[in-house]
Amino acid sequence: MWQNVIGQQRVKRVIASAIESAKLPGAYLFSGPEGVGKDAAAIELAKVLNCTGQPPPSPRLEKAGEQLLGSCDECESCLAIQSMTSTAVHFVHALPKKESGGDDEVDLKDIDTIREQLAAKSADPYHNLDIPRATAIQIAQIRELRMALSRSFVGGRKRVVIVSEADMMNVQSQNAFLKTLEEPHANTLIILTSSNAHKLLPTIHSRCQDVRFDSLTAEEIAEALVEREELPREEAEFLSRLANGSYSGARAMIGEDVKEMRNQIVDFLRMGLSKSRLRAAQQVDLFLPRSGGGKFLERRQATEQRLALLALWLRDALALTTKADAQVVNLDQMDALKRFVDRFGDARRIVIALAAIDRAMHQVRLQLQLRPVMMRLVVELEEALVAA
């Protein structure tokens, strides 16, 4: 049912209106920030379109007081879609390319990891797939999809194709996918989801109806953390303020010593801007999560968390610089923020520094070596914030 999707009341109304008026487009592009429910909404829409049970009364939308057509979450079709075993739904995502080269096929050693990740996605549509070396949606996957769509299907009312993080298609894959969009198949809905929709070709955009997802409010995130993760209200509210509108981001911080992480961020900035490469290198080693025999994926995720908190801290500094104090999130670090702004309070320079963090985040997601990425970030932050 639509309550499986956190917030996004405007989006729900747009989709429900299209369903009820029988005016669904051939293709949607669900775009917006990471961790706000784009995949969750795509999966829910697939269930609604294929539900064979009697949907219960949907919860009323808080603002409009209207009801939504929902799914029952209990019939065979709903359960199959949720478990990603339905023949009516094709879920396309980035796969690791064979290390040995050759065709775009998956190594046998990766199959168990892929299954584990899809099982986690099935249990929780807000789970971000994390598969080693899965940096692109390959053209072979698009060709396989086209072949599958050319065949008739049974087991559902409407076939739905979900391309998760569609911007991970390279240009070759996107051009191949255009043929699927240009030659729509009967009784088929295509849904692209993307946190970086600007990376998609204009021709892809022109053939999809764009539905923009909003960042979640702190209240929506806190409520979901209490209900779904059973967090104490105080902890849920604290994490929701730091999550920058992302439920996935808030959840990733559960169990972490976030206050200590923020202290490390302040130290990282101070040493990184000290013009001492030795001290900066030492601080990078402290900033990066310890190996401890853990998986690289876990270290990468932890590094992403730290970079997200660093970006949030600098956005707070930007808010103070532009006299937008009400937008500050790290209220308990106001003194440190004001000291930072006194020294580096040039709004233009802070914006350049934030762009450098975005680049570092992208490089970390590409699974590049973490220490060189962070050392390069130190150089770029110094160049951005410290006057020559």
Contact of 378 with 272, CB cutoff 8 Å: yes
Listed in sequence order, the residues at least 6 apart from 276 whose beta carbon sits closer than 8 Å to its beta carbon are: none
The pLDDT, as a whole number, for residue 226 is 93
The pLDDT, as a whole number, for residue 59 is 47
Q: Which of 313, 269, 273 is nearest to 287 (CA)?
A: 269
Sign of CA dihedral 294, 376, 194, 60: positive
What residues does 191 pair with on adjacent strands?
28, 162
The pLDDT, as a whole number, for residue 106 is 65
Edge-first strand order for the sheet with 27-31 is 89-92, 159-163, 188-194, 27-31, 209-212
Helix (H, G, I), strand (E, B) or coil at 29: strand
The token pair that represents 318 in the structure block: 């930007």
Contact of 228 with 40, CB cutoff 8 Å: no
Contact of 190 with 46, CB cutoff 8 Å: no
d(CA 385, CA 316): 15
The pLDDT, as a whole number, for residue 17 is 85
The pLDDT, as a whole number, for residue 180 is 87
Question: pTM of the full predicted structure?
Answer: 0.76
Contact of 63 with 9, CB cutoff 8 Å: yes
The token pair that represents 273 in the structure block: 């801007």
Q: What is the mean pLDDT of each run of 10 residues along the chain (388 residues)?
A: 84 88 89 91 91 62 52 86 89 80 61 86 86 84 88 77 92 90 84 91 93 92 92 86 83 78 77 67 70 55 79 88 83 84 86 89 74 84 76
The token pair that represents 31 in the structure block: 């775009």
Burial 306-326, CB ≥16 within 10 A → b, else e: bbbbbbbbbbbbbbbbeeeee
**C-alpha dihedral (116, 122, 124, 126), degrees to nearest 10:** 90
Question: Mind listing the domains of the chain with CATH numbers?
Answer: 2-212 (3.40.50.300), 256-385 (1.20.272)
The pLDDT, as a whole number, for residue 21 is 83
Helix (H, G, I), strand (E, B) or coil at 378: helix
